[in-house]
Copies of this chain bind each other. A is one copy, B any other.
């Protein structure tokens, strides 16, 4: 058996690049940008009024003028106007182009309008209330770097520079496979010795968060059926995620079947709990990766988040977050297994505190729903102490408070 650290590095050494594809702007949400995005023009594209009021030429102020004849009214969206006389003004609305011959805006709150004239209540500063052309970004400047996750704010930038279609990283074609004769579907009533599938649903939901829409497959514990179906799946997918069938049981055919199909085992079994019987391998010809997780809910869920999510981030060129949280209780960790314990995160005084969630072994489903993620505790001579920093892997995007 290998350690968690060794297993993690072996998984990360198999990052893949699935190329790029173009998607419509609003479909690019939560995808990874695959091109640098440049400003297609200056931002702002013109000297832009930032207040509603009048546009004047400051030279007039220097000449002692306080009253300006109003030449015109400029709305946002009006073509650029030329001020006829520097002793006149125009009314101008937020977002409109500052006229030629004007260089200062005075907002309505600081003027009085009477008989077609605007009278200044106080002296303005030269150049005030103007958002100068190119002051945010010059044409050609990179406004979004590739390999950035696209969220609502990036969507706004992409729209502003005219990216109706966006080049994003392609996602791996994936199939999730449940195994085991004891499993029935969610809408069925299980017999006393049966249970319902649940891992395949939580995996589906977790992948959906990453915008992966996986295919689904269920295999009974029949070796020839498993072999036939996995052979097909290997050739049709970039990634297979299996749940169950990798322990030491007589009907745990997955490792044998994968070996018979010529899939290279990279490792099987890791010094960790939960998730020890994790099997990881690759079919070299197709570069299909196989993440074969033990079937207990906590094991599948932990290994998905510990290995697969970081592997996916790496494959999509995203940076991999390293989050440390603060232990709120003392925990002894003896033996030779790295423990992944379910915790709830408490945000207090700007700190991330980890509270252990009561759990009942790796078959315990409900405690996962009470957790925000797993803390990692490697075996240590002395107990982990209150206040100690430990690595944390979140299992939900929004930490519930």
Contacts and interface: CB of A to CB of B under 8 A. Distances in A.
Contact of A205 (B155, B161, B182): B155
A350 B343 CA distance: 14
Nearest to A93: B249
Copies in the complex: 2
Interface string A221-243: 10000000000000000000000
Contacts of A189: 162
A23 interface: no
A35 interface: no
A19 interface: no
| Size category, A interface | 35 or more
Contact of A151 (B181, B182, B205): B205
A190 B45 contact: yes
A315 B56 CA distance: 48
Contacts of A248: 51-52, 107-109
Contacts of A205: 26, 29, 151-152, 155-156
Interface stretch (A5-13, A118-126, A317-325, A378-386): A317-325
A183 B77 CA distance: 7
Interface string A342-353: 000001011111
A371 interface: yes
A91 B50 CA distance: 79
B50 A363 contact: yes
Contact of A77 (B158, B193, B322, B371): B193
Interface string A35-47: 0000001011110
Nearest to A387: B350
B156 A369 contact: yes
Nearest to A108: B248
A192 interface: yes
A368 interface: yes
B181 A131 contact: no
Interface stretch (A61-69, A94-102, A330-338): A94-102
Contacts of A155: 201-202, 204-205
B97 A193 contact: yes
Contacts of A104: none
Interface string A166-191: 00000000000000111100111111
A147 B228 CA distance: 44
Given A182-B77, A396-B152, A397-B397, A93 B250 contact: yes
A376 interface: no
A77 B368 CA distance: 24
A202 B162 contact: no
Contact of A350 (B43, B206, B389): B389
A134 to B, nearest CB: 11
Given A75-B181, A153-B395, 8 more contacts: A26-B208, A77-B183, A79-B192, A94-B247, A155-B202, A160-B297, A162-B196, A324-B349
18 contacts: A41-B190, A45-B190, A50-B361, A51-B248, A75-B182, A76-B249, A78-B193, A79-B191, A95-B180, A95-B182, A152-B301, A153-B371, A156-B301, A156-B369, A158-B186, A319-B400, A321-B400, A352-B352
Interface of A: 25-26, 29, 41, 43-46, 48, 50-52, 73, 75-80, 91, 93-97, 107-109, 131, 135-137, 143-144, 148-149, 151-164, 180-183, 186-206, 208-209, 221, 247-252, 295, 297, 301, 319, 321-326, 347, 349-353, 360-369, 371, 389, 395-398, 400-401
- Please provide the 3 A-B residue pairs with the shortest distance between their CB atoms, ordered closest to farther: A77-B181, A156-B202, A77-B182
